[in-house]
Structure 1
Amino acid sequence: MIPAGKRYEHDKIMIYDQVRSDYINSYFNTGDMMVYDSILKLLDFADLDVLKIANPTEADIARYNAIFDYVILRASNFIHEYMRWEKAEWVLGQLKIPVYAIGVGAQAEARRKVELSDESKRIWSLIAERSRAIGVRGAFSAEVLADNGIKNVEVVGCPSLFRNRDRDLKLALKAPADNKRIAFSLRRETSHYYAADTKAFTRMQRELLLRVSDTYDTTVTIHGEPEEKAFFAKDEAAIGQATERLRKAEWFTPENEARLTDIYRSRLFLNDRVEDYDTMIRKHDFAIGYRVHGVLPALANRVPGVVVSYDTRSSELAETFSIPTYSAEAILEQPLEKVLDPGQFDPFKKNFGSNYDRFKGLLDRCAIPNRM
């Protein structure tokens, strides 16, 4: 239900087939592919299909009930005031098979009261009735559902941390001075749903990006914004248009445009296939990220990483998994080497096994065949 990307080789995900120029010019969050790919790697399944919620028919419902054993809702930010479910309520009401949501989360710019729509309340009630529990990524998401009448909830985190199915995960920690290659996950686009002060968010992220790239051999991972994709694709016509939009958004300013342009022309990374992110991140010593799905897969691949917190999603997952987290201001106020301190990962290491078991435990209690 609500997949993100095209499946190949059983449990691998890549971008949908489309004209390359259309892909470059549109926003598509590669983090959604990471989540989709990760949950497939944890499940033990023979085959799958997409549950239609846009234009379902009675014949579709009959086929789902006759052929399939369960439905999985992809883990993502589906708990918020503005979620639109198309015809999912009708579909879920007709299904006779279990429906599971494992790793879903609430989205807000700050920890606050979130009043879901009546439609969303009915959807989450239907899902709760059809499974042992809804697996959410953290305490805030559990709190939001509880406030909206959904009590059948367990905190399990996100599948992306466990994508390699390694309960004995050991981070490749180094002394701060030995970290040379840094992956910086960029989230330039934002809105008041993600950051309370979007101008400060932009300014601080740019300052942090420039400081990291000036200090380390930095790869800037991009995750969907069209302007960055234009530079990555080296499409000069698109780059010209992107540059104008970046100036208008005040990301490129007279003071920093030359430095940012150099970074954009030589240090960007974009993955069309999720497995390419795994390959790239393993070549780095450390990850610093505005994208939780830049940091979580780094940790899954034994690369230590810290989250730059700015909204409930990033802080919630960091809290659930004991991942070191900093505000941009806190990083900029101290030497960068302090942010690379290996000692800060002691809580993550201590809790990883129990976090792994907790995620697997919900899959087992829901009778979802898995490979964890």
Structure 2
Amino acid sequence: MTRILLRAGKSPFTQLSPEVSLEGFSSGVWGSNVGNFIFSDSVHRLLATPDTEIRTNAFLTERIEVPGSYIKRINNEFDHFVIPMANAFRGSFLNNLKRLTNVIEQLDIPVTVVGVGVTGGKGTLNDPIPHVEGELADEVNRFMRAVLARSASIGVRGNYTAEFLSKLGYGDDVVRIIGCPSLFKFGPEHQVNKKVETITADSAVTMNLTPYVPEMGPISLHHAKHYNDLTYIPQVSNDLAMMMWGKANPQYKNPKLPIHVQHPLYLEDKMRFFVDSHSWTNYLATRDFAFGTRIHGNIAALISGTPAFVLAHDSRTHELAEYHDIPHIKVPDLAGRKDAAEFYEEADYTAFNRNQAANFERFAAFLTENGLSHVYEEGKANPEYDARIEELNLIEPVRSLAARDPEAQSQAYSRVQRLRNPEFQAKTAKKALASHEFPLTVDGKLERKRKSALRRVARKLESLAE
């Protein structure tokens, strides 16, 4: 039995309530953006062959001062550390990258990085490759050395990342362009085709957006007004706090964006926040079309079989859209276009479908090169995995406090009433700790860790109630 430790917020089989998902972890169980579940859950499924045991680490290998005893346990209890990543080569992730590298440097087992990407410079669509100097370059170099000492190659998202690493001295002898593992979740035969001839005002349309892209303000208002069955699916922890507690996003002030409780999408109950990837993709499978700036919001639609269109606002979204031939347009090229019907008419999935098998084969070859099996190898299928997912009692999406549906109102009122309940605070912390498949705590440290988490939850809840 091969034992894999997977870098992921939680196991796909673990269902956590919205309260626990948000308040029981410092930045949400998903690490600030629930889109992280799309690629980590995909890798989990792909590697879950019948002769493999996978446990998730709740990002604990990136915590401050990871004890030597924890690293020793990884070496003793696992055969492989697999690290699915997104755009980790960026300044805002630098401290996480340092801490993760500290751990990797002490491991004796193989380490495989799947799908890492770079974030470009200011105005990244025109400047997609960061300068190869300074602290970012130094830490990426250190990370690369640590990983490649324990693996045959590293898997990156696309050409921009490969070029960045090439300038640091890492060529195609060790760098493999594999795209995003999410799009291989259902194998080489996965296809996406349009479900309806055209998009109308009554079509089931789903939108995603990034709050620092100003063009999405008018687009969100336009669709709130003109589309009767529109759903906006936010993805970051601040959005969930707004939906659950009515707390406006403190980072952004643009009144045209759905980041405050007075936005039409909030008031008209046209928002849904999913705290699990399977409830998310199940919902998207029922929709006609998805579009927006969130790359994994659109990939979630594509793996559910629903057409999606990317509004590429930076190099990291453009890199993946180009590699996988996902229909897209650069935001600066919108030239006044802002309607879902226009995006749908422009979308063509011929190249995406044609290249899926070849892209998958490159990804599969990368896994094989690094000693990893996958469920699409002959004799490695694992139908019990999907059967187990089907049996889960999935968490329903969070709706806004303005929802008029009686059931939604009851859930919202109960949530607010629990806000200051000490028992709720304690259960939130305990449930969060219990969800860790491979906890940082050992022996006598468990109670101390539980109390620390409880204090953090209490402080967070108190600040939200102000």
TM-score range, shorter chain: 0.7 to 0.9
CA distance in 1: counterparts of 2:235 and 2:325, whole angstroms: 24
Deviations 1:247-289 (A, max 9, x none): x713349xx9999622113100101111110111111101102
Q: Which amino acid aligns with 2:313?
A: Y
Choose from 162, 170, 173 the match for 1:142. Answer: 162
Choose from 140, 146, 154 the match for 2:176. Answer: 154
Asked if 1:210 is matched to 2:216, the reply is no
Q: Which amino acid aligns with 1:261?
A: H
In structure 2, relative to structure 1, the CA distance for the partners of 1:95 and 1:346 (3 Å cut) is same
> Normalization by structure 2: what TM-score?
0.67
CA distance in 1: counterparts of 2:155 and 2:16, whole angstroms: 25
CA RMSD of aligned residues (A): 3.1
Q: Which residue of 1 aligns with 2:383?
A: none
- What is the DSSP-based 3-state SS (H/G/I as helix, E as strand, rest coil) of the residue aligned with 1:210? helix
CA distance in 2: counterparts of 1:164 and 1:212, whole angstroms: 31
Choose from 306, 316, 321 the match for 1:318. Answer: 321
Comparing 92-101 with 314-323, greater Cα deviation is found at 92-101
CA distance in 1: counterparts of 2:146 and 2:22, whole angstroms: 39
Deviations 1:166-195 (A, max 9, x none): 62424344312468111101221x4xxxxx
Deviations 1:347-369 (A, max 9, x none): 11111111122212211221212
In structure 2, relative to structure 1, the CA distance for the partners of 1:5 and 1:346 (3 Å cut) is same
CA distance in 2: counterparts of 1:207 and 1:34, whole angstroms: 28
Q: Which residue of 2 aligns with 1:76?
A: 86
Q: Which residue of 2 aligns with 1:371?
A: 375
Structure 1 regions of 5+ residues with no counterpart?
A: 191-200
- What is the DSSP-based 3-state SS (H/G/I as helix, E as strand, rest coil) of the residue aligned with 1:30? coil
- What is the DSSP-based 3-state SS (H/G/I as helix, E as strand, rest coil) of the residue aligned with 1:344? coil
Contact conserved, 2:88 with 2:116, CA < 8 A, in 1? yes
Report the Cα offset of residue 100 of structure 1. 0.6
Q: Quote the sequence identity (%).
A: 23
Asked if 1:104 is matched to 2:141, the reply is no
Report the Cα offset of residue 370 of structure 1. 1.3
Contact conserved, 2:119 with 2:130, CA < 8 A, in 1? no
What is the correspondence of 1:211-360 to structure 2 with a 5 Å cutoff? 211-216=222-227, 217-226=229-238, 228-233=239-244, 235=245, 239=246, 241-242=247-248, 249-252=253-256, 261-265=263-267, 266-328=269-331, 330-331=333-334, 333-334=336-337, 336-341=340-345, 344-360=348-364
- What is the DSSP-based 3-state SS (H/G/I as helix, E as strand, rest coil) of the residue aligned with 1:219? strand
What is the correspondence of 1:56-75 to structure 2 with a 5 Å cutoff? 56-75=66-85
CA distance in 2: counterparts of 1:135 and 1:22, whole angstroms: 32
CA distance in 2: counterparts of 1:251 and 1:65, whole angstroms: 50
Q: Which residue of 2 aligns with 1:176?
A: 198
Contact conserved, 2:116 with 2:157, CA < 8 A, in 1? yes
Q: Which residue of 1 aligns with 2:416?
A: none
- The number of equivalent residue pairs is 348
Contact conserved, 1:6 with 1:15, CA < 8 A, in 2? no
In structure 2, relative to structure 1, the CA distance for the partners of 1:112 and 1:339 (3 Å cut) is same
Contact conserved, 1:182 with 1:218, CA < 8 A, in 2? yes
CA distance in 2: counterparts of 1:19 and 1:352, whole angstroms: 33
Q: Which residue of 2 aligns with 1:126?
A: 146
CA distance in 2: counterparts of 1:64 and 1:127, whole angstroms: 15
Question: Highest CA radius of gyration, 1 or 2?
Answer: 2
Report the Cα offset of residue 207 of structure 1. 1.1
Contact conserved, 2:179 with 2:320, CA < 8 A, in 1? yes
- What is the DSSP-based 3-state SS (H/G/I as helix, E as strand, rest coil) of the residue aligned with 1:154? strand
Contact conserved, 1:363 with 1:369, CA < 8 A, in 2? yes
In structure 2, relative to structure 1, the CA distance for the partners of 1:221 and 1:369 (3 Å cut) is same
Comparing 331-340 with 146-155, greater Cα deviation is found at 331-340
CA distance in 1: counterparts of 2:129 and 2:357, whole angstroms: 31
- What is the DSSP-based 3-state SS (H/G/I as helix, E as strand, rest coil) of the residue aligned with 2:55? coil
Contact conserved, 1:103 with 1:157, CA < 8 A, in 2? yes
CA distance in 2: counterparts of 1:71 and 1:351, whole angstroms: 29
In structure 2, relative to structure 1, the CA distance for the partners of 1:314 and 1:62 (3 Å cut) is same
CA distance in 1: counterparts of 2:18 and 2:196, whole angstroms: 38
- What is the DSSP-based 3-state SS (H/G/I as helix, E as strand, rest coil) of the residue aligned with 1:114? coil
CA distance in 1: counterparts of 2:369 and 2:199, whole angstroms: 45
In structure 2, relative to structure 1, the CA distance for the partners of 1:348 and 1:101 (3 Å cut) is same
Deviations 1:74-118 (A, max 9, x none): 222211245123443343222221111111110125113333342
CA distance in 2: counterparts of 1:19 and 1:135, whole angstroms: 29
- What is the DSSP-based 3-state SS (H/G/I as helix, E as strand, rest coil) of the residue aligned with 1:18? helix
In structure 2, relative to structure 1, the CA distance for the partners of 1:206 and 1:342 (3 Å cut) is closer
In structure 2, relative to structure 1, the CA distance for the partners of 1:313 and 1:168 (3 Å cut) is same
Choose from 27, 30, 46 the match for 2:53. Answer: 46
CA distance in 1: counterparts of 2:261 and 2:77, whole angstroms: 56
CA distance in 2: counterparts of 1:291 and 1:208, whole angstroms: 14
What is the correspondence of 1:186-205 to structure 2 with a 5 Å cutoff? 186-188=209-211, 190=212, 201-202=213-214, 204-205=215-216
> Normalization by structure 1: what TM-score?
0.82
CA distance in 2: counterparts of 1:14 and 1:33, whole angstroms: 13
CA distance in 2: counterparts of 1:259 and 1:336, whole angstroms: 24
Structure 2 regions of 5+ residues with no counterpart?
A: 377-466
Q: Which residue of 1 aligns with 2:130?
A: 113
Deviations 1:13-51 (A, max 9, x none): 757973866779978211112222121111123132526
